[in-house]
Amino acid sequence: MKFRVSVLLVAWFGVLGCVQAEFFTSIGHMTDLIYAEKDLVQSLKEYILVEEAKLSKIKSWADKMEALTSKSAADPEGYLAHPVNAYKLVKRLNTDWPALEDLVLQDSAAGFIANFSVQRQFFPTDEDEMGAAKALMRLQDTYKLDPDTISKGELPGTKYQAVLSVDDCFGMGRSAYNDGDYYHTVLWMEQVLKQLDAGEEATTAKTQVLDYLSYAVFQLGDLHRALELTRRLLSLDPSHERAGGNLRYFERLLEEEREKPSSNQTEAELATQEGIYERPVDYLPERDVYESLCRGEGVKLTPRRQKRLFCRYHHGNRTPQLLIAPFKEEDEWDSPHIVRYYDVMSDEEIERIKEIAKPKLARATVRDPKTGVLTVASYRVSKSSWLEEDDDPVVARVNLRMQHITGLTVKTAELLQVANYGMGGQYEPHFDFSRKHEQDAFKRLGTGNRVATFLNYMSDVEAGGATVFPDLGAAIWPKKGTAVFWYNLLRSGEGDYRTRHAACPVLVGCKWGHMANLISEEKQLVQALKEYILLNEAKLSMIKSWTEKRDALNLIIPEDKDDLGKLVDVYKVLKHLNKDWLLVESFILQDPCIAPGDASVNFPILGTLYKWNFVIFDLLCVMYFGKCVFKVHPCCSVYQNFIIFYA
């Protein structure tokens, strides 16, 4: 069979040429393995067809020769007495049988082997298998799934049925064992025994499972159970040398333990003796809080806080482009203020960005806070690529849109970072801003720090994958086409440590997103701060003078509506509120953080008075006319917050 490489395979090589292993860190790259396996199946089927044709010829020749030799062997001399038979016998042995030998020796597998050899260099490695196993264990811990649930594939939001066989579960347990993770070794080896006891066929023997399991429980401190499992192993295979040595060792340790004076056992030790093992404590202090938020538990969105969350149309500080087509803005959290914008990217833009980012995807790195060197880490499992505006017009368009929404310049922002999360993809709690104690904290950021984060969700996720803030008790779930925005720095320029956040492991689905970290120029910040102080001092002086004048006019609204007086008095009050106070409001709303003629913002926008004149106007109308007023924002149905005044 001639060697054939499909167009699909060539395209696949084009993508994999930039990628080395670590497939498990990106679902986007793992999809390429699907097409590679499909090509191998096609190649294997072609090999089978050729092999079946060859076997058919050989079988036909064998049937023919069997009939002939049975006849000739019955009367050899009589058969050879005929000169034609004698000639044909010589010819067959000299020509036909060697030809059959060539047919049998013909390597019909050459095409398949050649194709397989080419693709083999791009196959996942032992590192990928270990990473994939760890990913399943991470999902198991984060979402509190037992091995039986995972083995049966009973996960929320799944479209396809997938189960783990006995041999698959044994591979999980062995991976944990090789990594020194005896806690998960025990869980998965027990699952193997459960499925074997249920009668499931497998190549894995019980003796293999008991060998791993007995030593793992011993490492967890359960000497009694280790001894019991070892005896069970020896009952199945009395000649098992390692088990025999372990048995003698365990018996000696148990005897020494009995000779020690009895002491009060802790609850943990008692639980261990009962076969219940606690998950080891690791390096992350907020592990429990982080994982509970990922499960949607422990979210501190109280009714009182929820009443402070609104939705509105956002025009980006009256940006001309957004005055015509404002974005829908929804409060996700009140303090620090976290907002979500809807319909930020179209499906076409999302697909285009994924298309240009995929060939550039590489394992995401973190900066070591001690050395300042970029390195991969188990707490960040994803691949990312960095896009420049020159890469495609859509990148420039998305950047400009982000600038319009936030009011922050993208001239000093980092490149657009596109991330694709792999199996159990996550990024554990971290800060987006650099801390002063970090080595070369600001060197890689230019001359400033990361003022804000603008996170675009480019896919929906069936289960998991939330962005959580452990210190706040907040959880934000991915919604395709939306973007989440928050400030990383306080007005003083110091980091806001409440913004420590994490990307939860993806349980089911494929998570794509892109993030922009908006960076401030430090020199500009200092100058802007000085200007801010001067402008604020002047503004406060003028407001104080105006307030004194209003106070002198004694325009005080009586508590009793009957004391309000004539309609003329009402008119005067409303005039002051509708005209004069509007002027004061507009003056207060003037943002001293924005330099004249410059749309770039160096500091978070200060809190503003939002339409207070209309609130006061409504209140007066209710006081005087006894009518109810309902104000409803029409932009979003997620939160229907009402400002209700009644007589």
Q: What gap in Å lies between CA 560 and CA 263, rounded to an integer?
A: 77
Question: What is the arithmetic mean of pLDDT over 217-226?
Answer: 94
Q: Is the peptide bond before 336 cis (omega within 30 degrees of 0)?
A: yes
Q: What gap in Å lies between CA 234 and CA 241, rounded to an integer?
A: 9
Q: In this predicted structure, what is the pLDDT of residue 245?
A: 93
Q: What gap in Å lies between CA 229 and CA 217, rounded to an integer?
A: 9
Q: What is the largest CA-CA distance in the chain?
A: 144
Residue 155, both tokens: 């996960």
CATH level 3 topology of 142-256: 1.25.40
Q: What is the dihedral of CA 344, 346, 349, 350, to 10 degrees?
A: 80
Strands 483-487 and 416-430: unpaired
Question: What is the arithmetic mean of pLDDT over 521-529?
Answer: 50
Strand (E) or helix (H) holding 338: strand 338-341
In terms of C-beta density within 10 A (0-12 exposed, 13-18 middle, 19 or more buried), how is residue 340 classed? buried
User: Position 410: which residue type?
Assistant: V
Q: CB count, 10 Å around CB of 460?
A: 16
Give SS3 for 315. Answer: coil
Lowest mean pLDDT among 169-178, 264-273, 308-317, 484-493: 264-273
Q: Is the pLDDT of residue 310 over 90?
A: yes
Residue 603, both tokens: 């500091």
Residue 461, both tokens: 């996720």
Same fold, 142-256 and 305-520: no
Q: Is the pLDDT of residue 349 over 80?
A: yes
> Residues near 535 by Cβ (< 8 Å), separated by ≥ 6?
592
> Between 614 and 237, where is the model more confident?
237
Q: In this predicted structure, what is the pLDDT of residue 164?
A: 92
| pLDDT band at residue 11 under the 50/70/90 scheme | very low
Q: Name, of 19-23, 341-345, 412-416, the range with top average pLDDT.
A: 341-345
pLDDT digits (tens, 9 = 90+) for 335-346: 999 999 999 999
Question: What is the arithmetic mean of pLDDT over 559-587?
Answer: 56
> Between 267 and 546, where is the model more confident?
546
> Residues near 14 by Cβ (< 8 Å), separated by ≥ 6?
359
Q: In this predicted structure, what is the pLDDT of residue 291?
A: 95
Residue 389, both tokens: 């505006």
Q: What gap in Å lies between CA 273 and CA 555, rounded to an integer?
A: 79
Question: What is the arithmetic mean of pLDDT over 14-27?
Answer: 56
How far, CA to CA in Å, does 106 sit from each of 57, 113, 190? 12, 14, 48
pTM of the model: 0.70
Q: Write the DSSP string, 557-580.
A: --SSGGGG--HHHHHHHHHIIIII
Q: What gap in Å lies between CA 230 and CA 234, rounded to an integer?
A: 6
Asked whether 345 and 458 are in contact (CB, 8 A), the reply is yes
> Between 557 and 629, where is the model more confident?
557
Q: Is the pLDDT of residue 476 over 70?
A: yes
Long-range contacts of 572-576 (CB under 8 A, 24+ apart): 573/620, 574/617, 574/620, 576/550
Q: In this predicted structure, what is the pLDDT of residue 234?
A: 95
Phi/psi at 3 (5° precision): -70, 130
> Between 136 and 447, where is the model more confident?
136
Q: What gap in Å lies between CA 603 and CA 451, rounded to an integer?
A: 8
Query: 3-state SS of 118-163?
Result: HHHCCCCCHHHHHHHHHHHHHHHHHCCCCHHHHHCCCCCCCCCCCC
Cα 60 to the center of its chain, rounded Å: 59
Q: Is the pLDDT of residue 485 over 90?
A: yes
Q: In this predicted structure, what is the pLDDT of residue 16?
A: 44
Question: What is the arithmetic mean of pLDDT over 536-553?
Answer: 71
> Between 236 and 322, where is the model more confident?
236
Lowest mean pLDDT among 167-181, 211-225, 270-284, 490-504: 270-284
Q: In this predicted structure, what is the pLDDT of residue 545?
A: 75
Q: Is the pLDDT of residue 288 over 70?
A: yes
Helices (H) and strands (E) in the chain, counts: 23, 18
Phi/psi at 357 (5° precision): -85, -30
Q: What gap in Å lies between CA 189 and CA 175, rounded to an integer?
A: 11
DSSP 278: P
Asked whether 630 and 642 are in contact (CB, 8 A), the reply is yes
pLDDT digits (tens, 9 = 90+) for 117-142: 888 877 888 888 888 889 899 999 99
Q: What gap in Å lies between CA 44 and CA 1, rounded to an integer?
A: 12
Q: In this predicted structure, what is the pLDDT of residue 598?
A: 33
Q: Between 3.40.30.10, 3.30.460.80, 3.30.428.10, 2.60.120.620, what CATH number should domain 305-520 receive?
A: 2.60.120.620
| pLDDT band at residue 238 under the 50/70/90 scheme | very high
Q: What is the mean pLDDT of the chain?
A: 78
Asked whether 527 and 453 are in contact (CB, 8 A), the reply is no
Q: Name, of 263-272, 462-471, 511-520, 624-633, the range with top average pLDDT.
A: 462-471
**CA nearest neighbour of 176 among 167, 184, 166, 186:** 184
Query: 3-state SS of 404-455?
Result: HHHCCCCCCCCCEEEEEEEEEEEEEEECCCCCCCCCCCCCCCCCCCEEEEEE
Q: What percent of the chain has pLDDT over 90?
A: 38
Q: Is the pLDDT of residue 18 over 70?
A: no
pLDDT digits (tens, 9 = 90+) for 34-54: 888 888 888 888 888 888 998
Q: In this predicted structure, what is the pLDDT of residue 600?
A: 33
Q: Is the pLDDT of residue 397 over 80?
A: yes
**CA nearest neighbour of 308 among 338, 341, 331, 340:** 331
Phi/psi at 293 (5° precision): -65, -35
Query: Domain residues of the chain, as ranges?
Result: 27-121, 142-256, 305-520, 525-557
